Amino acid sequence: MSIFTMGIDVGSTASKCIILKDGKEIVAKAVISVGTGTSGPARAMKEALEQIGLSSVSELQGAVATGYGRNSLAEVPAQMSELSCHAKGAYFLFPNVHSIIDIGGQDSKALKIGDNGMLENFVMNDKCAAGTGRFLDVIAKVLEVNLEDLEKLDEKSTVDVAISSTCTVFAESEVISQLAKGTKIEDIVKGIHTAIASRVGSLAKRIGIKDDVVMTGGVALNKGMVRALERNLGFKLHTNEYCQLNGAIGAALFAYQKYTMTHQ
């Protein structure tokens, strides 16, 4: 009999769900772009369950919730810290991982991982929006561009523009004054990526970065941001199509581990 386990990562800005078969194969996935306190988590779970022909979490062999809103799901009684889930998920995707950089909607984290995929140390910025996905959201609105277009704009940049403010509010007014000066949007975008990279990079350097470095979280889908971090850290960053689902993968693996330990 196959063992199906679910991981649901309820973030501040998105809900991510993964279903694993036998702790090895990703058989369903869903990302809904609203997070905790919304219908997002329920919709993500429903979508993932439908992909394997099930209608309820209780039909699975196990489920674990993680992320900012992990305690808000009545149908998923087990929770794990997002740090442990990120470590486990990244180790599943990249077995040689030693460092993880995760830029989430409301925070950014750097994790140090041991040879066995265990979390050894971490640092986190959750006090300030600068250096998070939220910051990119705010700037994209000011520039009147879609979040998905930031990567393409960054690629076109030919001039380095320094955005010196590390505070969202001040950076926003700095961007507005750059626009008023006639600075090209693509150069501002690259400047913003560089500013975030310097903030996240200094966080990461505090725990000591070493290869392999994996970037997770939805912001990892933005190659402009990945390039800026690579320039700042001097390391290649590994990303994957599942980088936004990394926490959910870790949670599904913990659910599998729990099931197999109790059913040996």
Query: Where are the domains positioned within the chain?
Result: 2-85+244-261, 95-238
The token pair that represents 108 in the structure block? 């950014």
- For 95-238, CATH number out of 3.40.1280.10, 1.50.10.20, 3.30.420.40, 3.30.450.20 equals 3.30.420.40
pLDDT in the model for residue 8: 98
pLDDT in the model for residue 235: 96
The closest of 211, 210, 215, 209 to 242, measured between CA atoms, is 215
Q: Could you tell me where the DSSP H helices lie in the chain?
A: 40-51, 82-93, 133-143, 150-156, 168-180, 185-205, 223-233, 246-262
Distance CA 165, CA 155 (A): 22
* C-alpha torsion 155→135→85→97, nearest 10: 30
Place of tokens 């913990």: 254
Q: What angle do CA 101, 106, 110 make, to 5 degrees?
A: 20
Asked if residue 76 lies in contact with residue 8, where contact means CB atoms within 8 angstroms, the answer is yes
For 47, 94, 167, 177, the CA distances from 78, given in Å and listed in that order, are 20, 25, 36, 49
pLDDT in the model for residue 127: 77
pLDDT in the model for residue 223: 95
pLDDT in the model for residue 190: 96
Is domain 2-85+244-261 in CATH 2.40.30.10, yes or no?
A: no
Report how far Cα 24 is from the mean position of its chain's Cα atoms: 21
The closest of 191, 247, 201, 230 to 70, measured between CA atoms, is 247
Q: Give the CA radius of gyration of the chain.
A: 19
Mean pLDDT, each 10-residue run in order, the chain (264 residues) = 96 93 98 89 96 96 95 92 95 96 90 91 85 89 94 96 82 92 96 93 92 93 96 96 95 97 87
Decide: helix, strand or coil at residue 215: strand
pLDDT in the model for residue 66: 96
Cβ-Cβ contacts under 8 Å for 174 (sequence gap 6 or more): 163, 164, 165
The token pair that represents 12 in the structure block? 């501040």
pLDDT in the model for residue 213: 97
Residue 64 DSSP one-character state = E
Say how many Å lie between the first and final Cα of the chain, rounded.
Answer: 14
Encoded amino acid at 36, one letter: T
Distance CA 5, CA 259 (A): 9
pLDDT in the model for residue 227: 97
**Total-model pTM:** 0.93
b/e code 1-24 from CB counts within 10 Å (16+ = b) = eebbbbbbbbbbbbbbbbbbbebe
